[in-house]
Amino acid sequence: MRRGTAFALPAVVLIAWELASASGWLSTRVLPEPLAVLRAFWTLSLSGEIWHHVAVSTWRALSGFALGGSLALVLGLLTGSSRTAETLLDSTLQMLRNIPPLALIPLVILWFGIDESAKLFLVSLGVFFPIYINTFHGIRSVDKGLIEMARSYGLSGWPLYRDVILPGALPAILVGVRFSLGFMWVILIVAETISAQAGIGYMTMNAREFLQTDVVLVGILLYALLGKLADLLSKGLERWWLRWHPGYQAADARA
Amino acid sequence: MHPYELELEAVALGALVPPVNETRREPVRGQPRVADAAAKFPLTLDDDQPASSGTAVATRGLSKSYGQRRVLADIDLRIAPGEFVAIVGRSGCGKSTLLRLLAGLDDADAGGITFDGATRAQDLRGHRSDTRIMFQEARLLPWKSVVDNVALGLAAKGGRQRALDALAQVGLVERAGDWPAVLSGGQRQRVALARALVHAPRLLLLDEPLGALDALTRIEMQRLIESLWQRHGFTAVLVTHDVSEAIALADRVLLIDEHRIAFDQRIELARPRSRGQGGFAQHEQRLLDRVLAAPPSTVAAEPVHASADEVLS
């Protein structure tokens, strides 16, 4: 019942949109009718063209995420765990954080040209800071009482890290992961619209040249879909890794 | 007020009956009396448990300050193997600090502690493998199941079985697979007790572990702690603000006031004790008088634990 209500508004908007387009009130140059978008999606997927673009974009997003995310995790763990590393690195990183990654585009083009490494660099930079900051904060906010308890039970070094500090920081780290997964697509869209030979951004920019609004819309919807997928994935990770946490349990498990 | 507390008050009022066979001891101030008592102390242990399974603890000139604030001064204390000692005192009197020094969680400014006559054999951080501490909060790792919490610090091989055995001793073996978040406060403390016991400690330090529990659960926990102490024969040091709890459990009750041990009372009542027992109320009254006679402590709250700066090290 509640699920149905949640989808009521999008359904109404979709029907109104279709009616407006069909009656000619809404020009196809502004917005194509929903059915045309569906048709465009269908022909693109039949030709296999769309899957090629999706694969290229997803690969860019994930490899950038893996690179920037793991670097952020390592540095966050380091500065969170050691005061020396914090004084050495943290203020520098906080300074860099204030530069919007997209402001670096001119420099990135000069450095890397317009090939894959430029996109990889931008995505990595974009996902870096949310994960870094949350990891740092997560490590610092681990309950000191638990650390003291574990030490008095003889835990130290890696066992202490594995059993107490990392799991304690995990909720915060996952918040950072979720945030950066959203940001990952934003950066990628911009990077791909600037210059690319493949990818969803390339597809939409190409379609714009030929006034194919239906294909442009397919591209936009694809981004939304992929973003939602990434979000679901991180939600799933939270459910599994934080299943001990009363705040993250599935609704049916709580009842 | 909790409904059970009313009932318990009634029990307490009924307890004001004349003493039957209470051994009268005048409260004596000063240290020689303490040492003397420890030397002659008779152990109330099961026959099958050797008295040597508890650690003998002695402190000499133990002092501790936090910044300008003096907490403990020149504490001389001797605890016999297997003895159950309760430390009472006003909030902020330093009783928890004494326990933290015994546990090796903090370092003393002056003086020393010996265990079984030897200076402490300990790892770099000052923790002894045969000493375990129970805190006021259970401090269970929320991301580990109950049984994995109990098995913390045990070798992977055989650790789980030992943890299950310890859980059985506190009556929680059927909750082994649950997350700590779904347990009640009393159950969490029982898990913490099992976690301490699984290491077969020779010295168990209890830092107000029952302070946050409701009255009925407290009594259950007191009985559980007493029976496990009788069974295993470890030395126990209990810090509490509850005078009747101290009398219910301890062989000896120490009062800390003005940074020193102000009062040392041996409790020679038969176990298990109840508040209706002859002599219980007299002990309680005398201790309360001593606590209340002392001027209110000028020190503020007790210090929080030292911040763990370098968690990697």
Q: How far is A254 from chain B (nearest CA, A)?
A: 10
Domain range enclosing A76:
34-244
What CA–CA distances, in Å, run from A179 to A134, A176, A227? 10, 5, 11
Task: Write down the pLDDT at residue A250.
Answer: 56
Task: Write down the pLDDT at residue B12.
Answer: 40
- Interface touch A151/B152, C-beta < 8 Å: no
From B311, which residue of chain A is nearest by alpha-carbon distance? Answer: A81
Task: Write down the pLDDT at residue B127.
Answer: 60
Task: Write down the pLDDT at residue B80.
Answer: 92
Mean pLDDT of all residues in A166-176: 94
Using CB atoms, pick whichever of A153, A168, A245 lies closest to residue B152: A153
Question: What's the CATH code of the domain at A82?
Answer: 1.10.3720.10
Residue A231 CB partners (closer than 8 Å, separation 6+): A178, A181, A182
Evaluate whether residue A255 is within a structural domain: no
Query: pLDDT above 70 covers what percent of chain B?
Result: 74
Mean pLDDT of all residues in A73-81: 92
Task: Write down the pLDDT at residue B309.
Answer: 44
B83-106: pLDDT as tens digits: 999 999 888 888 899 999 998 888
Task: Write down the pLDDT at residue B49.
Answer: 40
- Given a cut of 70, is residue B263 above it in pLDDT? yes
Q: Is A75 on the interface with B (CB under 8 A)?
A: no
* Top-confidence residue, B292 or B82: B82
Q: Is B128 on the interface with A (CB under 8 A)?
A: no
- Given a cut of 60, is residue B18 above it in pLDDT? no
A208-247: pLDDT as tens digits: 888 888 899 999 999 888 988 988 988 898 888 898 888 8
Domain count for chain A: 1
- Given a cut of 80, is residue B295 above it in pLDDT? no
Q: How far is B286 from chain A (nearest CA, A)?
A: 36
Average pLDDT over chain B reads: 77
Tracing tokens 């002894």 back to the chain, one arrives at B128
Please report which confidence band the pLDDT of residue B48 belongs to, taking 50, 70 and 90 as the band edges: very low
* Chain B residues 134-173 with a CB less than 8 Å from chain A: 135, 137, 139, 141-144, 152-153
A79-89: pLDDT as tens digits: 998 889 998 99
Task: Write down the pLDDT at residue B106.
Answer: 87
User: Greatest CA separation found in chain A?
Assistant: 76
Average pLDDT over chain A reads: 88
- Given a cut of 50, is residue B120 above it in pLDDT? yes
Mean pLDDT of all residues in A118-125: 92
Closest to B234 in 3D by CA, of B80, B42, B58, B126: B80
Output the 3-class SS for chain B: CCHHHHHHHHHHHHCCCCCCCCCCCCCCCCHHHHHHHHHHCCCCCCCCCCHHHCCCEEEEEEEEEECCEEEEEEEEEEECCCCEEEEECCCCCCHHHHHHHHHCCCCCCEEEEEECCEECCCCCCCCCCCEEEECCCCCCCCCCCHHHHHCCCCCHHHHHHHHHHHHHHCCCHHHCCCCHHHCCHHHHHHHHHHHHHCCCCCEEEEECCCCCCCHHHHHHHHHHHHHHHHHHCCEEEEECCCHHHHHHHCCEEEEEECCEEEEEEECCCCCCCCCCCCCHHHHHHHHHHHHHHCCCCCCCCCCCCCCCCCCCC
* Top-confidence residue, B11 or A18: A18
Query: pLDDT above 90 covers what percent of chain B?
Result: 36
**Pairs of residues, one from chain A and one from chain B, whose beta carbons lie less than 8 Å apart:** 79
B156-180: pLDDT as tens digits: 888 899 999 999 989 999 999 999 9
Cite the residue boundaries of each domain of chain B with CATH code 3.40.50.300.
Answer: 54-130+201-301
Across A63-77, B11-25, B211-225, least confident range: B11-25
- Interface touch A161/B152, C-beta < 8 Å: no
- Given a cut of 70, is residue B2 above it in pLDDT? no
Please report which confidence band the pLDDT of residue B246 belongs to, taking 50, 70 and 90 as the band edges: very high
Closest to A194 in 3D by CA, of A122, A99, A97: A122
Task: Write down the pLDDT at residue A189.
Answer: 87
Number of Cβ within a 10 Å radius of residue B237: 26
Q: Is A171 on the interface with B (CB under 8 A)?
A: no
Task: Write down the pLDDT at residue B19.
Answer: 39
Using CB atoms, pick whichever of A148, A164, A246 lies closest to residue B141: A164
Q: Is B120 on the interface with A (CB under 8 A)?
A: no
Beta-ladder partners of B239: B87, B207
B60-73: pLDDT as tens digits: 888 899 888 888 88
pTM of the model: 0.75
Mean pLDDT of all residues in A4-20: 87
A172-197: pLDDT as tens digits: 999 999 999 988 988 998 888 877 78
Evaluate whether residue A133 is within a structural domain: yes
Task: Write down the pLDDT at residue A48.
Answer: 87
Q: Is the dihedral of CA B17, B18, B21, B23 positive or negative?
A: positive
* Top-confidence residue, A28 or B38: A28
Q: Which fold has domain B54-130+201-301?
A: Rossmann fold (3.40.50)
- Interface touch A82/B310, C-beta < 8 Å: yes
Evaluate whether residue A7 is within a structural domain: no
Query: pLDDT above 90 covers what percent of chain A?
Result: 38
Please report which confidence band the pLDDT of residue B126 belongs to, taking 50, 70 and 90 as the band edges: low
Rounded distance, CA B44 to CA B50, Å?
A: 11
* Top-confidence residue, B263 or B51: B263
Across A19-23, A27-31, A63-67, B227-231, least confident range: A27-31
Mutate to test the interface with B, among A84, A153, A166 (most CBs of B within 10 A): A153
- Given a cut of 70, is residue B6 above it in pLDDT? no
